[in-house]
Amino acid sequence: MGNSPIPRSKAAPEYSTLDDWIQKEAISFAVDPPERFNAAVDKAVASLDGSAELLGFGEALHGGEDILLFRNRLFQRLVEAHGYCAIAIESSLPRGWAVNEYIAGRGPESFDAVQDTGFSHGFGRLGANRELAEWMRLTNADPSRHVKLRFYGFDSPTEIGASDSPRQLLHFVLDYLASIDEAKARLLHERIDPLLGRDADWEDPAAIMDPAKSVGLSPAATELRVETEGLISELSIRRPELAAQSGADRYLETVHYASQARQLLNYHAGLARSATDRVARLLGLRDAMMADNLAYIMSREGGRGKVLAFAHNSHLKRGKAQWQLGPDLHAWWPAGAQLQEIFGPRYAVIGSAVGVSDAQGVGPPEAGTLESRLRALPGPGRLIPTHRGRGLPASAIAALPTRSGSPKNPTYFPLTPQSLTDFDWLVLLDSTPEIPAAV
């Protein structure tokens, strides 16, 4: 299903000015007490007419505590009242398994045991992520809850500063095969393990900016890509046998991990190439992997309930993403654009913005900007439907100025006129202090 010009519900109302739209449609709320917050969330969900099964919530920047606390309360309300059963966050897919085992009560007894192994980007050391996992574990422990909550990472095993070795993904697949055909798995290990070499060579952060530092096109890496294709073929031709012995869910999980290993090796090959569009292609590859991971997660959750996906605004938006890196402007299709093509109206997304954050280097928004207009309303939070720009004065949207960015936090992207078509709803929080570390 592709992007459709047809509104989700009845035609959007017409507004003569942006301020008229804001005054009539914005919902002011506080996270506590919960009554007003829950009412705001309920109204946003009701506007989607039940068609959305995957709801994205984007953060305006990494490192904002109030955004994560909003996410936690949002997910709790979605679970309590709207049929959601899983959350997927911007963290490595293979690492997320450990957190899911913890919240299911099958893993270790303490969150401390998974805070590093279960998250990428250091996200396990954020207090709000500990709070989320503890709430999910406690909720799952309720014997009256028949549909247990699940936790996923949906990021590729890459990030802006480095990229993982393919070892974890490939060993997941080989361990699966070993559980069914130990002799075949042993032969594959003997061929694949020498090609993996040292993880440090794959994960050298210098390779992000210098193709010569990457091992992605070395003879061993090239041969490893061939072996990975053979591994995927092995899973494919033996599907009836393997699925019968392990169960369909475990088989499909293994096939997905093998596919992600292939994509990760393609990413490493891209790291090793010198090209004018090198950075944009790498960003696009990462987001394509994120979209594939969410599509897989949705296939797993089908029939159980709906899914909340949480990541940076730039990953979940529908329109093309852009990033100014020094003198170069890089543009690529983010995961949200991919998801719109995959799911159509089954995908909806809320974008976020912040008013002021001294801790993050975000000063007061300039007059006339969307953040300034929304901040004029009572806070500490405001939700507003965008109608994807329909019914809003096009000339006023085009003339919207963009507020200043942050000299301190390069992950902060202000709202732009495009934000009104990129997101179904926007939320503005008054401020977001720096996140304290988990204790």
Q: What is the pLDDT of residues 79-121, one digit of tens each?
A: 999 999 999 999 999 999 999 999 999 989 999 999 999 998 8
DSSP classification of residue 407: S
Residue ranges in the chain whose pLDDT is less than 70:
1-10, 434-439
Task: List CB contacts of 24: < 8 A, sequence separation 6 or more.
Answer: 13, 15
**What is the C-alpha to C-alpha distance for residues 77 and 73, in angstroms, rounded to an integer?**
6
Helices 127-140, 93-103: inter-axial angle, 10-degree rounding: 50
Query: Residue 215 is encoded by which pair of tokens?
Result: 């091992």
The H-assigned helical ranges of 329-416 are: 335-343, 370-375, 394-398
3-state secondary structure of 309: strand
pLDDT per residue as tens digits for the range 162-171: 899 999 999 9
**What is the C-alpha to C-alpha distance for residues 289 and 264, in angstroms, rounded to an integer?**
9
**What is the C-alpha to C-alpha distance for residues 381 and 376, in angstroms, rounded to an integer?**
11
Name 162's bridge partners: 159
DSSP states along 3-24: --SS-SSSPPPP-SSHHHHHHH
Task: Report residue 110 CA to chain centroid gap.
Answer: 25
**What is the C-alpha to C-alpha distance for residues 321 and 426, in angstroms, rounded to an integer?**
17
CB 86 within 8 A of CB 132: no
Query: Residue 330 is encoded by which pair of tokens?
Result: 């890089």
CB 206 within 8 A of CB 213: yes
Q: Look up residue 40 and give its amino acid.
A: A
**What is the C-alpha to C-alpha distance for residues 433 and 12, in angstroms, rounded to an integer?**
35
Neighbours of 139 (CB within 10 A): 15
**What is the C-alpha to C-alpha distance for residues 88 and 297, in angstroms, rounded to an integer?**
8
pLDDT per residue as tens digits for the range 204-261: 999 988 999 999 999 999 999 999 999 999 999 999 999 999 999 999 999 999 999 9
Q: Roughly how many angstroms between the first and final C-alpha of the chain, as a whole number?
A: 45
Closest by CA to 285, choosing from 228, 322, 334, is 334
3-state secondary structure of 361: coil
The H-assigned helical ranges of 344-385 are: 370-375
The pLDDT assigned to 435 comes to 56
Query: Residue 210 is encoded by which pair of tokens?
Result: 């210098």
The H-assigned helical ranges of 212-369 are: 219-237, 239-246, 248-271, 278-301, 313-316, 335-343
Query: Residue 135 is encoded by which pair of tokens?
Result: 């709430």
Helices H / strands E in the chain, number of each: 17, 12
Question: Pairing relation of β-strands 306-312 and 84-92?
Answer: parallel
Cα 205–Cα 209–Cα 213 angle in degrees, nearest 5: 65
3-state secondary structure of 42: helix
- Strand locations in 118-217 (E): 150-155, 158-159, 162-163
**Residue 302 zone, left/alpha/beta (φ > 0; ψ -120 to 50; rest):** beta
DSSP states along 43-79: HHHHTTTT--SEEEEEESSTTBHHHHHHHHHHHHHHH
**What is the C-alpha to C-alpha distance for residues 231 and 236, in angstroms, rounded to an integer?**
9
